[in-house]
Amino acid sequence: MDKSNIKARIEQLRNLLHHHNYQYYVLAQPQITDFEYDILLNDLITLEKNNPEFNDPNSPTQRVGSDINKEFTQVIHKYPMLSLGNTYSIEEIIDFDTRVRKALPDDTIEYVCELKYDGVAIGLTYKNGFLVQAVTRGDGTQGDDVTNNVKTIKSIPLKLSGNNYPSEFEIRGEIFLPHSSFEKMNAEKEAAGEPLFANPRNAAAGTLKQQKSSIVANRPLDCFLYFVLGNNLPYNSHYENLMAAKTWGFKIPYYITKCNNIDEISDFITIWDKKRNELPFDIDGVVIKVNSYLQQEELGFTAKSPRWAISYKFKAEQARTKLLSIDYQVGRTGAVTPVANLEPVLLAGTTVKRASLHNSDQIKLLEIHENDFVFVEKGGEIIPKIVGVDQKTRDINTMPIEFITHCPECGSKLERNEGEAKHYCPNVYSCPPQIKGRIEHFVSRKAMNIGGAEATIEALFEKGLIHNSADLYYLTKEQILLVDRFAEKSATNLIESIEESKKVPFQRVLFGLGIRFVGETVAKTLANHFKSIENIKNASIEQLTSVQEIGDRIAISIIEYFKDDKNLEILERLKNAGIQLEVAQFENNNLFNKLNGKTFVISGTFENHSREELKDLIEKYGGKNTGSISKNTNFLLAGENIGPSKLEKVQELKIPIITEDDFLNMIKD
- Cβ of 231: how many Cβ atoms within 10 Å? 9
Question: Is residue 586 classed exposed, middle or buried when 0-12, 13-18 and 19+ CB atoms within 10 A define those classes?
Answer: exposed
Rounded to 10 deg, the angle between the 3-21 and 34-50 helix axes is 140
Amino acid at 298: E
- Give me the catalytic one of 70, 102, 116, 364: 116
Q: Residues 277, 260: contact at Cβ < 8 Å?
A: no
Measured CA to CA, the distance from residue 178 to residue 279 in angstroms comes to 9
Handedness of CA 347, 348, 351, 355 (dihedral sign): negative
Give, in order, the Cα–Cα distances in Å from 452 to each of 308, 491, 496, 511, 660: 35, 10, 11, 19, 43
Give, in order, the Cα–Cα distances in Å from 447 to each of 399, 503, 506: 45, 12, 10
Question: Is residue 92 classed exposed, middle or buried when 0-12, 13-18 and 19+ CB atoms within 10 A define those classes?
Answer: middle
Measured CA to CA, the distance from residue 611 to residue 627 in angstroms comes to 12
Q: Please compute Rg for the chain using Cα positions.
A: 28
Distance in Å from the first CA to the final CA of the chain: 66
Measured CA to CA, the distance from residue 649 to residue 13 in angstroms comes to 60
Question: Is residue 630 classed exposed, middle or buried when 0-12, 13-18 and 19+ CB atoms within 10 A define those classes?
Answer: exposed
Contact partners, residue 562, CB within 8 Å, separation at least 6: 536, 537, 568
Q: Is 116 a catalytic residue?
A: yes
DSSP 52: G
Maximum C-alpha span of the chain: 90
Q: Of 466, 430, 462, 463, which is closest to residue 450 (Cα–Cα)?
A: 466
Between CA 654 and CA 662, with CA 660 as vertex, the angle to 5 degrees is: 65
Measured CA to CA, the distance from residue 18 to residue 27 in angstroms comes to 13
Measured CA to CA, the distance from residue 269 to residue 263 in angstroms comes to 10
Give, in order, the Cα–Cα distances in Å from 274 to each of 123, 191, 254, 532, 550: 30, 35, 17, 55, 44
Measured CA to CA, the distance from residue 335 to residue 329 in angstroms comes to 8
Q: Residues 105, 117: contact at Cβ < 8 Å?
A: no
DSSP 413: B
- Cβ of 215: how many Cβ atoms within 10 Å? 15
Residues labelled catalytic: 116
